[in-house]
Structure 1
């Protein structure tokens, strides 16, 4: 394994972070904020350590899968470490473990926070928090793919290490072209949402920050009450639309815009995903209304936002779900487990795997009736490889095992059952809020330090999809 090549690619990662740290520095500088020096030093550190490998490490035309895997995993880890710097230097509520938690939560687009008073933070810090979402949403490695001057083989290796097999099913392009498609859709959605939010009364600063968080399906807000602070049906509608778009495979969105055969309107997977969201909204709406919590239209308004927010792993809030009927909480917990589609900015289990699981259940029932039969599972007319089926089942089992083990650890730290269970699911799913003490309008500040550390591991496992971490551990020296 060529260590110098790995270090060189990590240099690109540091430079990308340094660019956004410099923008945060400019915001703090022109607003004369206390975080100015913190961002200046953080940007300089990223710049210096990022540029040296590019200057002194020779170019190579080959990189193997193991090296690509190390670049991906350590790219994420070094990014999270760098993300801590401005928090630690600025101080406030950011102890070492709190800065690590906030950084990991941001880059993995989880959106869980330890901050009690978000609105007291300098705007430079607020912008950096949102930037960590935006960088992490599309995957920092995919950004690097766009600027890599190396060979096609290197891009393919890193791409294969970063993207799960199930995400590739709707892409029929080369690695660099896929990165370009993702970037085009990502940036376009961000611009359109920013404009939409400004039209409904948000300031430019709030609009760009909430767009970063929405399109990345992250959930960091500039307000203590999240989207509820604006109390605007128009703003909520805009956010709902873009949360749904951000939870759908970007390849299908691109295909729709380019009038290709593979598009949103022809995808049974997209139709099923939207149908499940509608069913969830209907169930929560009816329960809220029948329980006398709100009138029907208010119930529909809150249910629509919360189901879509958790179902796309965004995590914004318009109401405190901790006080909702237990039935509605169970429905919402299901959506934090299911998550949105592969090929989107959503984290977690992914709807595609849930959809495939039920396909496999149907296949097994048919085999019980016809043991000698040959049955093939398909996604939108494409045959699903049996290896992918097996990988999906193993992933689901591992995923469930991780959040159950995390729940046990958290309860051992004297955290109540609902908080522990929902926090475990919300962090591995990169959703953000849970229930109990970490509800939609709550935060994770009261979780013990060891619990926060465990939950950040959960976030990384969810974002890197477990297999990459296991593969890294099993790499032979």
Structure 2
């Protein structure tokens, strides 16, 4: 086996230890609520992950740094494998818990439902198989919230902090669709600062919820899922029954999660208010939010202002929490939410979607083309971003990358909607199918009622695939799919080179 491939598999083994660590961190919940039946499934996940990880670790000994392509593949597989190991607590607890005690727990006795819930959690989506999350054990309520919290910051961000992988840290960081780095500092310093911000904001969110009157258990879980822009709740009606004060607080927390960590860093660590206010992503995010809120207020005045703002924020921040039954919404306001879900949060945040940075670059590219028509004597129309004039090459690259992602997203959304419509038949309207497809692909979690345990099995697999694709912004999965061809081509090229050397 080639050294680079052996190194790649060895790093897979290292990553497979992560579920064991997550299981250990879940022990306090099991002990606090005396849910001893959950020990076996969590221990099983830990043993299987450690056993498999150790097997890979000792079978493959190479320590050579791998290529950029293999780093992207590692990230894509890491998200998939962690989600698959995350199935074990759902399925295991459904089989070991006392029968008849937890009304919703039998849902997870169906393996595909457990898989769906795990993928939804780790991708930070929030679509669920449950009608009432309060009717499952506390250990599973925690596991759903904890998986979304980890998914919000990223599996590779966790691995880069705790594990010494043989992949270049910068490549892995970028492969997880993150590009900002602290200037003149190693990428590990960036990762550490992001973790400090994330943990600090999480603790603040939990405390704010608690002091606003939310019971501690709900504050703990919602503090993680709202900031992680996940969308899982531990109540029967998400945020419907909470006070206006708590809803307003949640809007603030969702916005914090949707803003890029770079922007938080400028404010928290550098106290640079001037640069903070110049961030283009921030401008576009609030423009989209305010514009959508005003539009919703105009076309759907029957709903309260706080609920309209809450749903607009939840859709744009790709959080998935709700205060209303979206299945009862008219088509026009629901379509506004579809647009917001596709627009998405800032790049480099906990949110999903196409990301505001790409729409910013795309808009600037269009404006640049218009300026070139009116001022043809200018060889390159100037473009500013974050208050700085960008070099022509950097500008063109960013515009091209934005166009590529937009194209892939539209194609995936189109095919996803088509195949989901084939799966569910005529039981739902087109806009409901489009809504839930966009929600899965953008890792949002809002639903019009289509997604649930009663949907066809192939529809569950399709939405799970879309959640995985959306979390990695599609390109990483494309690279994973075509990688065997490139690896084969590379191997053939090496053999030809060796043969040529021997002949000479």
Give me the TM-score of the superposition, normalised by structure 2: 0.86
2-structure distance, mates of 1:161, 1:397:
19
Distance verdict in 2 for CA 1:20–1:263, change over 3 Å: farther
Q: 2:26 aligns with which of 11, 24, 27?
A: 24
SS across alignment from 1:221 = coil
2-structure distance, mates of 1:14, 1:25:
19
Task: Report deviation, 1:354.
Answer: 1.3
Over aligned residues, Cα RMSD in angstroms? Answer: 2.2
Q: 2:331, 2:431 within 8 Å by CA — same for their partners in 1?
A: no
1-structure distance, mates of 2:151, 2:141:
16
1-structure distance, mates of 2:165, 2:436:
41
Q: 1:411 aligns with which of 421, 425, 430?
A: 421
1:432 and 2:434 are equivalent in the alignment: no
Task: Report deviation, 1:233.
Answer: 1.8
Q: 1:195 aligns with which of 203, 207, 225?
A: 207
1-structure distance, mates of 2:29, 2:447:
32
Q: 1:253, 1:263 within 8 Å by CA — same for their partners in 2?
A: no
Alignment of 1:449-460 (within 5 A): 449-460=457-468
Deviations for 1:161-204, whole angstroms, at most 9, x for unmatched residues? Answer: 2235xx43886643211211211111111111011011012222
Give the match for residue 465 of structure 1.
473
Give the match for residue 120 of structure 2.
105
Q: 1:11, 1:50 within 8 Å by CA — same for their partners in 2?
A: yes
Give the match for residue 11 of structure 1.
13
Give the match for residue 359 of structure 2.
354
Aligned residues: 461
1-structure distance, mates of 2:206, 2:13:
31
2-structure distance, mates of 1:13, 1:30:
29
Q: 2:335, 2:431 within 8 Å by CA — same for their partners in 1?
A: no
1:74 and 2:77 are equivalent in the alignment: yes
Q: 2:90 aligns with which of 87, 91, 94?
A: 87
Give the match for residue 284 of structure 1.
296
Bigger Cα displacement from structure 2, 399-408 vs 202-211: 202-211
Deviations for 1:95-116, whole angstroms, at most 9, x for unmatched residues? Answer: 1211111111111101000112
Q: 2:270 aligns with which of 249, 259, 271?
A: 259
Q: 2:316, 2:341 within 8 Å by CA — same for their partners in 1?
A: yes
Q: 2:83, 2:122 within 8 Å by CA — same for their partners in 1?
A: yes
Task: Report deviation, 1:32.
Answer: 3.0
Q: 1:27, 1:123 within 8 Å by CA — same for their partners in 2?
A: yes
Q: 2:433 aligns with which of 401, 408, 420?
A: 420
Task: Report deviation, 1:371.
Answer: 4.1
Give the match for residue 343 of structure 2.
338
Task: Report deviation, 1:324.
Answer: 2.8
Q: 2:225 aligns with which of 213, 226, 232?
A: 213
Task: Report deviation, 1:328.
Answer: 1.7
Where structure 2 has 5 or more consecutive residues not aligned to the other structure, the ranges are 95-105, 488-504
Structure (1 or 2) with the larger CA radius of gyration = 2
SS across alignment from 1:434 = coil
Bigger Cα displacement from structure 2, 266-275 vs 78-87: 266-275
2-structure distance, mates of 1:314, 1:170:
27
Give the match for residue 99 of structure 2.
none
2-structure distance, mates of 1:388, 1:271:
18
Q: 1:111, 1:432 within 8 Å by CA — same for their partners in 2?
A: yes
Alignment of 1:301-312 (within 5 A): 301-312=306-317
Distance verdict in 2 for CA 1:11–1:234, change over 3 Å: farther
Give the match for residue 49 of structure 2.
46
1:128 and 2:140 are equivalent in the alignment: no
Q: 1:426, 1:433 within 8 Å by CA — same for their partners in 2?
A: yes
Distance verdict in 2 for CA 1:172–1:338, change over 3 Å: farther
1:377 and 2:383 are equivalent in the alignment: yes
1-structure distance, mates of 2:432, 2:67:
42
Q: 2:244 aligns with which of 233, 238, 243?
A: 233
SS across alignment from 1:168 = coil
